[in-house]
Amino acid sequence: MEDLTQEEWAEQLANDDNAVILDVRTDAEVAEGIIPNAIHIDFYLGDEFVDKVDELDKHKNYYVYCRSGNRSGQACHIMEELGFENAYNLEGGMLDWSGDVVDME
């Protein structure tokens, strides 16, 4: 797992042809807006979160974010334990995000 600043995350993501954006926030948080093309799996689902993440392609590069960077950091650690090679945590999460956001309503 690697913690990336907002700038590093956006720049690396833009140049990554094997990227998947993973939003681990709650449904209520996602309703306020989501980074374009992100898939959503709520971290607070517990074992169900682990099961859903484990079904993802482990050969992709995952750019993971939450509201502040805490849950996404934990999610990245779980992904490493599950055998994912590349999981990148967005430092500061959506609180610091200045990039594009799409409305989910």
Give the residue numbers marked as catalytic. Answer: 66
Neighbour-count burial of 16, counting CB atoms closer than 10 A to its CB (0-12 exposed, 13-18 middle, 19+ buried)? middle
Q: Are 50 and 79 in contact (CB under 8 A)?
A: no
- 92 backbone φψ class: left, alpha, beta (φ>0; ψ -120 to 50): left
Q: Are 68 and 92 in contact (CB under 8 A)?
A: yes
Q: Can you read off the two tokens belonging to residue 17?
A: 């042809």
